[in-house]
A and B are shown apart, each in its own frame.
Chain A
Amino acid sequence: MEKFDAIVVGAGPAGATAAYLLAKAGMQVIVIERGETPGSKNVSGALLFSQVYSEIFPKFWESAPLERAIVGHAITFLGEQTSVNLDYRDLDEGHVPHNAYSVLRARFDPWMAQQAEDAGAMLMPGFTVDKLLQENGRVVGIEAGGDALMADVVVVAEGTRSGLLKEAGLRTDEYHASDVSIGVKDVIALPEDVITNRFQCLNADEGVAYTCVGHTGGVEGGGFLYTNKDTLSVGVVAKIDAVYKSKLQPHAILNEFKAHPFISRLIAGGEIVEYSAQAIHRGGVHLIGQLYGDGYVVVGSAARLLLNNVMTLRGMDVAVASAAAAAKAILAAREMGDYSHTALAGYEQNFKATNVYKDMVTFKDTYPLLENERLFHVYPELAGAVLGDMFTVGAKPSKKGLKALRDDMRGKVSLWQMLMDMNQIGKGLVR
């Protein structure tokens, strides 16, 4: 029977990072990926934040297939016929790496997997791991299509729909429908120069990222629009219980978002070249799953490691950071020749020392915001109405801001309610 030092299940950012670091340290690593190629089975924004990547893959921006450097971030509130846009641009052109890059996962994930292969890991795409093999309560390998493979340690990096641990009876931490969102995304093709001009970029290497609140079919969720080289990634992430309650099909929510005049003019003339949808965990420090046990570690989305702070939804860099923390613990365990849960406990300590984890703690109070319906239905509309009142010179006398706000709030939200919400927003995002 074939035996490896480590088996990595899944060749996404988490799996590829773990495989890369373990192989680089001289371990015999096999990566088993369900898709025909890495990146073919996931749904992702996909916005890559540079910091964590550059720590693991120095100067990755020189060789990785990136789309555009994100030089502008915007938060946009969409009312029925209005948009209020908070647009941030970093106008310093020279510095690399940029804070974030847009990527297409079908191109980027193979590059990451290639780094692992170049370091000596064996990549096996096109095979689905059916179960974890256990001996005396300890994970000792995997089974795929009837073939068994053994290893000292198994890295579970199978992504958001991770089912291996549950099947093995190792997952004790159940989650609820309210912890799950559904992401739907179109990739829309437009000529490179049209994108550059439409989004006011200097050239085809620059791009922007929009996060949108409101106009998502009355369902709590948010929209996003990222610029790639010659495509746009446009999608909606919505609470799955709210989607269920609304009786709307997920693609109908995306269509409504795309039909909003603010979005429709940004995607005008484009051709849909890809559609995808996937259920994702909402993330958050309170929902982190089990990270390790006897003979195994869980990294990335499989351990529900995601960070949503309304402004950004981070999955990839959280995945990479967790995989790096796990790899460090595995290498320490190898020194001791012991892969028990006590030996692998270092993973949790390592992860808790990362900035990614600290960010998760920082934004832990953001999560109640995602439950607040008014944030999605009332305030985007209200913001548009108030600014509309202030900018419009009409038949009626003009009002100052507060008066306009009080008038526009009438019947929608009480002042008390709004102050409470402001406090919640403040707690989640500001202080």
Chain B
Amino acid sequence: MKIVACIKYSLTLSELKVDPATRELRLATTPQRVGTIDRNVLEAAVVLKPEGSTVHGLTLAPAGAREAFREAIAMGLDDLTIVDSTNWAAGGPMATAAVLAAAIQKMGDVDLVVCGEASDDGVTYQVPPRLAERLGWPLLAYARNIALAGATLTADRDLDIGMQSVACDLPLVLTVTQETNTPRRPTLMDAVKAKKKPVVVWQPEADLGLSAEALQAAGGVTRIAQEGIVIARKEQLFQGDDMKALANQLLDALLAEHVVAE
């Protein structure tokens, strides 16, 4: 059996800063890493892996970022394929799904694709369903308690209204949440072994036949407008020894700001 774990080289949102003057997001200086949810993806894929199977990592990322995937590989991937996004003109979930689908088809004989429910940074929830659609496979989203018996996968779907237990035949696209599992921390030996695992880099056009125009046609967007929010802190400081008086001052300030109601 061949399992593909789709992981994303994501912006570290906690480090994202907004330019106070222009309200532009300082994306270029925000550090990137393999996302938090992607660790759940890798854990799910590695745990499911039956005897004699292989787990392959797949990502759309700049080839220069390969070092960032070291820990992901050490979690138990047999290899990693990076579709190089260095010269990536188009963006958005539709184009991403098109690239991932093309790569999975090129890999061949894939039985199971595992994705995160949504990426750490884009959070569109769109890539897995669009990918399933392109592959023509069922989508089993928000899965917990995942088990594999032969060619049938069973799982509980974590829905707002409750849990839905389902069984589905492979191939399929599975999405996991942060509650699905607890990702392992690779050990030093895992990391040493991971050093010897192959990392393959594919170019969208040369290796997957996806030109910029093709991605555009697939629904790629070339410009995403986004504006940050600037919060001006009031920085009021109440000082003194009389705690009761201070509490009253604080309460008055909160009332004046309509933070609390009388």
Contact = CB atoms under 8 A, between A and B. Distances in A.
B187 A126 contact: no
A55 B189 CA distance: 35
Contacts of B188: 32, 124, 127, 144-145, 147, 149
Interface in B91-133: none
Interface residues of B, number: 9
A58 interface: no
Contact of B71 (A126, A144, A146): A126
A254 B70 CA distance: 38
Contacts of B195: 122
A145 B70 CA distance: 17
B192 A2 contact: yes
Nearest to B194: A124
Interface in B166-197: 185, 187-189, 191-192, 195
A8 interface: no
Nearest to A146: B187
Contacts, number: 25
A290 to B, nearest CB: 26
Interface in B66-97: 70-71
B74 to A, nearest CB: 9
Interface centre among B71, B187, B189 (most CB of A within 10 A): B189
B192 A124 contact: yes
A2 B188 CA distance: 11
B232 to A, nearest CB: 15
A310 B242 CA distance: 47
Contacts of A122: 192, 195
Nearest to B190: A147
B71 A147 contact: no
A303 to B, nearest CB: 24
Interface string A180-218: 000000000000000000000000000000000000000
Nearest to B196: A122
Contacts of A126: 71, 191
Contacts of A147: 187-189
A147 B187 CA distance: 7
A30 interface: yes
Contacts of A125: 70
B189 A2 contact: yes
A409 B49 CA distance: 81
Q: Max chain A CB contacts within 10 Å: which of B188, B192, B195?
A: B188
Interface string A113-131: 0000000001011110000
A124 B189 CA distance: 10
Most B CB contacts (10 A, CB to CB) among A32, A122, A145, A146 go to A145
Interface size class of A (residues with CB under 8 A): 10 to 19
A262 to B, nearest CB: 27
* Interface residues of chain B: helix, strand, loop or mixed (majority): helix
A120 B195 CA distance: 12
A35 to B, nearest CB: 13
Instruction: Choose among B70, B71, B185, B192 the residue with the greatest number of A CB atoms under 10 Å from its CB.
Output: B192
Nearest to A125: B70
A308 to B, nearest CB: 33
Interface string A1-20: 01000000000000000000
A412 to B, nearest CB: 35
A149 B192 CA distance: 10
Contacts of A146: 187
A145 B71 contact: no
A295 to B, nearest CB: 19
Contacts of B192: 2, 30, 122, 124, 149
A69 B187 CA distance: 41
Contacts of A124: 188, 191-192
B36 to A, nearest CB: 14
Contacts of B185: 145
Interface in B33-78: 70-71
B177 to A, nearest CB: 25
A145 B191 CA distance: 12
Contacts of B187: 144-147
Interface in A86-126: 122, 124-126
Nearest to B193: A2
B186 to A, nearest CB: 9
Contacts of B191: 124, 126-127
Contacts of B70: 125
Contacts of A2: 189, 192
Nearest to B191: A124
A32 B188 CA distance: 9
Contacts of A145: 185, 187-188
Nearest to B185: A145
B221 to A, nearest CB: 32
Interface in B210-231: none
A20 B60 CA distance: 32
A125 B185 CA distance: 13
Nearest to A142: B188
A370 B144 CA distance: 63
Nearest to A122: B195
Contacts of B71: 126
Interface string A142-155: 00111101000000
B198 to A, nearest CB: 16
Contacts of B189: 2, 147
Contacts of A30: 192
Contacts of A32: 188
A94 B77 CA distance: 52
Nearest to A129: B188
A32 B195 CA distance: 13
A175 to B, nearest CB: 30
Nearest to A114: B67
Interface string A137-181: 000000011110100000000000000000000000000000000
12 contacts: A2-B192, A122-B192, A124-B192, A126-B71, A127-B188, A127-B191, A144-B187, A146-B187, A147-B187, A147-B188, A149-B188, A149-B192
4 nearest A-B pairs in the assembled complex, by CB-CB distance: A147-B188, A144-B188, A147-B189, A127-B188
Given A124-B191, A126-B191, 5 more contacts: A122-B192, A124-B188, A124-B192, A125-B70, A147-B189
